[in-house]
Structure 1
Amino acid sequence: MWINGIPQTALSTRDRAVQFGDGCFTTAAVINGHIVMLDAHLQRLKEGCARLLMDAPDLAQLAAEMHHAAAQQTQAVLKVILTPGAGGRGYSRAGCQTPTRIISLSPWPQHYATLQQQGAVLHTSPIRLGRNPLLAGVKHLNRLEQVLIRQHLDQTGGDEALVLDTNGTVVECCAANLFWRKGNIVFTPRLEQAGVDGIMRRYLMAQMAANGQTCQLIDGSRDDVLNADEVVMCNALMPVLPVRQIDDVSFTARSLYQQLRASCPTMEAS
């Protein structure tokens, strides 16, 4: 782990991340020393800082630090956390002199390869996401909703969760975005009230648009998803997985999955 470019694991207990979950982050795939979709991850961090009214770091310096961390890795997960730094007791950021950059590496999640073949099983989570357009779309450090969703999911034996907001609108999975297909039309949740606007979601939507394919952003219900012909989920690491079951409803079609999988950046380590 590197904190502000220095190998270390000690973070001040007065850091805003510890005190208030104040900051943003991104998680990237590293393949043979290459950070997949690096520019998109840097742009996400820049946008996250702007949305949270934080000063963004020097992106060239941050990119250099990310490259240094990834250089010797064959296949790994690289996470970057940005915070306003250490400050006082209250909510004000006054007194935060030096923003914090945290870069860490983790082992590659091997279970994704199995799920690409078998398909993922989702359970509808009883934990609902709060609607908040001020923070919707941002991958900020306030992840308690996801922690609770994962805690419940771990008790069910499912691979992922189908997550709704407090209005009953489908938003995402616990750690992935969602697409579903009905006939020739692809749908994905509108994320103006809750959820994370994932990098792979953006990429796949751009690929579909470039191919002249319709992808509708909607405020869909659980029934909309359960009545789909096919369901797919995605994030920067998966990068795309087929869904074979949600609760007691099964899905067998793989055409959208195969299409999106083929359009993804390469994620294979040789």
Structure 2
Amino acid sequence: MYWINGIEQRSISVGDRAVQFGDGCFTTAWVKTGEVQHLDEHIARLQNATSSLLMPACDWPGLRSEMQSAAAGHDEAVLKVILSRGEGGRGYSALGAQGPTRIISVSGYPQHYHQWRTEGIELALSPIALARSSQFAGLKHLNRLEQVMIRMHLDKTTAQEALVVDTAGMLVECCAANLFWRKGRQVFTPSLAHSGVAGIMRQRIISVLQQSVDFSVEEVSETPQTLSDAQEVIVCNALMPILSVKKIENWHYNDPQLLDFLTPYCL
């Protein structure tokens, strides 16, 4: 099901800047028992992204209401919100754009996530590196060609997710998830200062660990080699929401202390 500017429909103008330039942002939320999980965080993410992209103000209470209405009646589903700058402007110029355009969709929940939470997953090192751009780092903007290419290469492997570095060779994230690893009681996650998406579940996990007396957490710039002596690796996003990694290339992990600690805060 799709709604565009509050009207149930599937068509958007070819002149919309989302179509012409990928000019916008989005977020993807887990719907459980008719409720959008972490709704406040999803709204805050969109507010931050539209502000960073200098997009026109959105009717945030109205968008929240539309999201809640779209989620109602679904036991478990995926709700996606796209905000574009709208239609208008000349070439790259946004002068005269009529936005924002609000696109909401609801689709089925990926049932394999339930299996992955039980069995764990494997990561494959992606040959596609993310470009560095501190201006857009952290934002979930509509320009996702890198992720499309990462996914195309991942689909040629037997792994369930990709391990992704940037053009400097530093760990960033997965294709559609954020990354954490544990060494003893120290937990690490890649810095997103230059590239990557600052996921809602990533921020939740960082907040939980910062308040924990059992673990510490640090954002770091490291190459994949740092995972060779990790005791545990996990990945997360708003839908999974947290998974144990059993294998990366020739490295194996089977000590889910961090996963067990975080699960009550994430599910």
With normalisation by structure 1, the TM-score equals: 0.96
Question: Per-residue deviation at 1:88?
Answer: 4.0
Question: Per-residue deviation at 1:226?
Answer: 2.5
* Structure-2 residue corresponding to 1:17: 18
Give distance in 1, aligned partners of 2:164 and 2:153.
Answer: 12
* Structure-2 residue corresponding to 1:28: 29
Percent same amino acid at aligned positions?
A: 51
Question: Per-residue deviation at 1:220?
Answer: 1.2
On the 8 A contact 1:14/1:88 being kept in 2, the answer is no
Instruction: Tell me which stretches of 4 or more aligned residues in structure 1 moved more than 4 Å.
Output: none
Give distance in 1, aligned partners of 2:193 and 2:157.
Answer: 29
Give distance in 1, aligned partners of 2:228 and 2:165.
Answer: 13
What number of residue pairs does the alignment pair up? 265
Give distance in 1, aligned partners of 2:49 and 2:57.
Answer: 9
1:207-240 Cα distance to aligned partner (Å, 9 max, x none): 1112243101100110112321100000001110
Give distance in 2, aligned partners of 1:13 and 1:89.
Answer: 14
Question: Per-residue deviation at 1:56?
Answer: 2.9
> Aligned letter for 1:198?
G
1:125-169 Cα distance to aligned partner (Å, 9 max, x none): 000000000000000000000000000000112100000000000
> Aligned letter for 2:125?
T
On the 8 A contact 1:28/1:237 being kept in 2, the answer is yes
Task: Give the gaps of 5 or more residues in structure 1.
Answer: none
* Structure-1 residue corresponding to 2:251: 249
Give distance in 2, aligned partners of 1:79 and 1:15.
Answer: 18
On the 8 A contact 2:56/2:99 being kept in 1, the answer is no
Give distance in 2, aligned partners of 1:98 and 1:247.
Answer: 45
Give distance in 2, aligned partners of 1:132 and 1:150.
Answer: 21
1:186-224 Cα distance to aligned partner (Å, 9 max, x none): 000000000000000001111111224310110011011
Give distance in 2, aligned partners of 1:107 and 1:139.
Answer: 21
1:41-60 maps to which residues of 2 (within 5 A)? 41-60=42-61
Give distance in 1, aligned partners of 2:10 and 2:90.
Answer: 23
- How large is the RMSD of aligned CA atoms in angstroms? 0.9
> Aligned letter for 1:99?
P
1:48-78 Cα distance to aligned partner (Å, 9 max, x none): 0011111231110000000110011110000
Question: Per-residue deviation at 1:247?
Answer: 1.1
* Structure-2 residue corresponding to 1:152: 153
On the 8 A contact 2:84/2:99 being kept in 1, the answer is no
Find the partner of 1:221 among 217, 223, 230. Answer: 223
Question: Per-residue deviation at 1:89?
Answer: 4.7
1:229-248 maps to which residues of 2 (within 5 A)? 229-248=231-250
1:61-119 Cα distance to aligned partner (Å, 9 max, x none): 00000011001111000000000101145001112123100000010011111111111
> Aligned letter for 1:28?
A
